[in-house]
């Protein structure tokens, strides 16, 4: 992992800063407070401050900023809600952090076409509130109330991906400002197209290194007639995972299925005032018609019972469902807050689902040897799980221990033909692992980066050092 100290940087040319203030007025900020707010992350990375922060209000603002930065060779780092956890928005080489949170308009909703277009700074919870009256929803749900642009940039997914896919599937089209200050739209609003290279998918997950996303057209889904949640405890981890695999094999269209280990359930019980049995537990959500959901519950319930599961505790009352998933969403905070003063450190491997029990069990054996408190939770239908460590920031040996366990975990996942990052992106934290995972393919990525951003000004130092 790279935590090398950064090389010292010269301060930005005052003439550049003057031009910035001249063009952007009150939208430009040079204060320490604002720079600090944009130069730290929710995770364990050392803060790296931009020299300036500009709040963009339009694609034209971004174009002008890209021009100004390009002329002065100043780095530019896009910033949304700041909820990413691989240091994706840190200003490794300083420069300007362009904050898109004020570009939060919902530009259009085409209910009959099941799509909408929003500005990049729109947040997913606000979008869903807006869509609700039209019977539609946007399913991608990483937990945090992230911006849609940020979610596109990191190829986010989360609890609904097993049924509805990730941002890769959810994004129909993007408006992007390129490093040479062109504004492109990557696709039309048709649901599918074979028109040339898939630029939409190239920018989804590119973490701001190839362009700045300013507008996003998203696929939407009809709100299901019936939504039902269930909780089920298991004797063994293997039993829990087998239940999920067999459900998928049976064709059950699980909308969500999350695994939480004993330690995570303990944390959730305490933080969210629940009283779940403290065993390996699956949280389910079922979407469909009343009869369809009843059939899903019956089938999954039978499989769970055959695999050592408890009786389903289930509910289709909205407030109970909301309480359950709120607890799931707060699981990260619940885990970290088990230890006062701790900092969160999250892993993110994703493996073929047949290897998931083995991968989790071997990891848990490592955790049992460790002095750093940790919980496990995951998107079991995708083969993706997280270990959340609660690290004492004043104890360097703890950080070393976590890195050692994470190294073993990623190596284990790669041996299983998995990935080092299911949904958090590479950012600063996974750069060495990207090379271990994809080898020479990373050379192709570098070639693309050099071709589109030859001066390396767009979120430099992320995904890979050039």
Near a copy of itself in 397-416, by CB under 8 A: 413-414
Choice between 252 and 372, CB closer to a copy of itself: 252
Provide the minimum distance between the beta carbon of 148 and a copy of itself in the complex, in angstroms, as a whole number.
16
Provide the minimum distance between the beta carbon of 287 and a copy of itself in the complex, in angstroms, as a whole number.
8
Binder among 121, 300, 423, 429 for a copy of itself (CB under 8 A)? 423
Question: How many Å is the maximal CA-CA distance in the chain?
Answer: 71
Binder among 1, 105, 343, 452 for a copy of itself (CB under 8 A)? 452
Binder among 248, 274, 302, 343 for a copy of itself (CB under 8 A)? 248
x/- string (CB under 8 A) for a copy of itself, residues 19-38? --------------------
Binder among 225, 235, 362, 400 for a copy of itself (CB under 8 A)? 225
Provide the minimum distance between the beta carbon of 342 and a copy of itself in the complex, in angstroms, as a whole number.
25
d(CA 345, CA 371) in angstroms, rounded, equals: 14
* Stretch 192-221 residues interacting with a copy of itself (CB under 8 A): 192-199, 201-202, 204-206, 210
* Stretch 68-97 residues interacting with a copy of itself (CB under 8 A): none
User: Which residues on adjacent β-strands are paired with residue 281?
Assistant: 233, 260
Give the orientation angle of helix 262-272 with respect to helix 318-329, to 10 degrees.
120
Q: Are strands 183-185 and 171-177 parallel, antiparallel or unpaired?
A: antiparallel
| CB-count burial class (<10 Å; 0-12, 13-18, 19+) for 196 | exposed
Choice between 121 and 383, CB closer to a copy of itself: 383
Contact 125, 81 (CB under 8 A): no
* Stretch 282-301 residues interacting with a copy of itself (CB under 8 A): 287-289, 291-292, 295, 299
Q: Which span sits near a copy of itself by CB under 8 A: 46-54, 69-77, 316-324, 449-457? A: 449-457
* Stretch 321-350 residues interacting with a copy of itself (CB under 8 A): 348, 350
Provide the minimum distance between the beta carbon of 187 and a copy of itself in the complex, in angstroms, as a whole number.
7
Choice between 188 and 407, CB closer to a copy of itself: 188
- Contacts of residues 320-326 at CB distance under 8 Å and 24 or more positions apart, as own/partner, are 320/229, 321/227, 321/228, 321/229, 321/285, 323/272, 323/274, 324/229, 324/231, 324/283, 325/159, 325/229, 325/256, 325/283, 325/285, 326/272
* Stretch 135-174 residues interacting with a copy of itself (CB under 8 A): 135, 154-157, 161, 165-166, 168-169
Q: Residues in contact with a copy of itself, total (CB under 8 A)?
A: 96
The tokens describing 49, both together, are 């401050």
Provide the minimum distance between the beta carbon of 225 and a copy of itself in the complex, in angstroms, as a whole number.
6
Give the orientation angle of helix 441-452 with respect to helix 431-438, to 10 degrees.
120
Q: Which span sits near a copy of itself by CB under 8 A: 119-127, 261-269, 278-286, 419-427? A: 419-427
Residue located via tokens 């007639």 = 225
Choice between 187 and 265, CB closer to a copy of itself: 187
d(CA 39, CA 42) in angstroms, rounded, equals: 11
The tokens describing 391, both together, are 């690290």
Choice between 271 and 284, CB closer to a copy of itself: 284
Q: Give Cα separations from 408 to 101, 388, 403, 411, 419 (angstroms).
A: 37, 15, 9, 5, 13
436 Cβ contact partners less than 8 Å away, ≥ 6 residues apart:
410, 411, 414, 420
């Amino acid at each position: 992992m790279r935590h090398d100290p950064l090389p010292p940087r010269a301060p930005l040319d005052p003439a550049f800063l003057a031009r910035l203030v001249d063009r952007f007025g009150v939208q430009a900020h040079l204060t320490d407070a604002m720079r600090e707010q944009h130069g730290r992350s929710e995770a364990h990375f050392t803060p790296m401050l931009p020299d300036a922060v500009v709040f963009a209000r339009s694609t034209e603002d971004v174009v002008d900023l890209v021009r100004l930065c390009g002329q002065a060779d100043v780095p530019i780092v896009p910033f949304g809600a700041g909820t990413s956890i691989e240091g994706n928005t840190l200003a490794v080489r300083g420069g300007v952090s362009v904050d898109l949170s004020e570009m939060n308009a919902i530009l259009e909703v085409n209910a009959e076409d099941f799509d909408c277009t929003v500005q990049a700074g729109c947040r997913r919870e606000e979008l869903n509130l807006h869509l609700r009256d039209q019977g539609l929803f946007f399913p991608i749900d990483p937990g945090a109330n992230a911006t849609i642009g940020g979610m596109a940039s990191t190829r986010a997914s989360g609890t609904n991906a097993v049924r509805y896919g990730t941002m890769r599937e959810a994004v129909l089209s993007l408006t992007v400002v390129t490093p040479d200050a062109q504004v492109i739209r990557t696709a039309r609003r048709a649901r599918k197209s074979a028109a040339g290279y898939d630029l939409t998918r190239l920018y989804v997950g590119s973490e701001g290194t190839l362009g700045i996303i300013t507008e996003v057209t998203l696929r939407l889904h009809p709100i299901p007639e019936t939504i039902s949640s269930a909780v089920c405890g298991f004797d063994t981890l293997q039993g829990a995972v087998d239940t999920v695999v067999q459900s998928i094999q049976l064709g059950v269209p699980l909308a969500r299925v999350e695994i939480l280990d004993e330690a995570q359930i303990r944390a959730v019980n305490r933080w969210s005032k629940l009283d779940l049995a403290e065993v390996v537990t699956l949280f389910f959500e079922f979407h469909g018609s009343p009869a369809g959901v009843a059939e899903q519950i019956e089938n999954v319930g039978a499989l769970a019972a055959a695999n050592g599961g408890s009786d389903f505790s289930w509910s289709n009352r909205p407030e109970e469902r909301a309480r359950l998933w709120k607890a799931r969403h707060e699981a990260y905070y619940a885990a970290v807050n088990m230890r006062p003063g701790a900092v969160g450190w999250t892993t993110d491997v994703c493996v073929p689902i047949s290897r998931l029990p083995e991968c989790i069990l071997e990891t848990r054996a490592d955790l049992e040897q460790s002095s750093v408190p940790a919980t496990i939770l995951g998107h079991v239908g995708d083969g993706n799980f997280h270990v959340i460590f609660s690290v004492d920031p004043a104890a360097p040996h703890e950080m070393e221990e976590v890195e050692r366990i994470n190294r073993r975990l990623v190596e284990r996942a790669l041996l299983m033909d998995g990935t080092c990052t299911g949904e958090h992106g590479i950012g600063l934290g996974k750069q060495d692992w990207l090379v271990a995972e994809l080898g020479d393919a990373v050379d192709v990525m570098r070639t693309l980066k050099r071709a589109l951003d030859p001066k390396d000004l767009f979120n430099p130092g992320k995904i890979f050092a050039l």
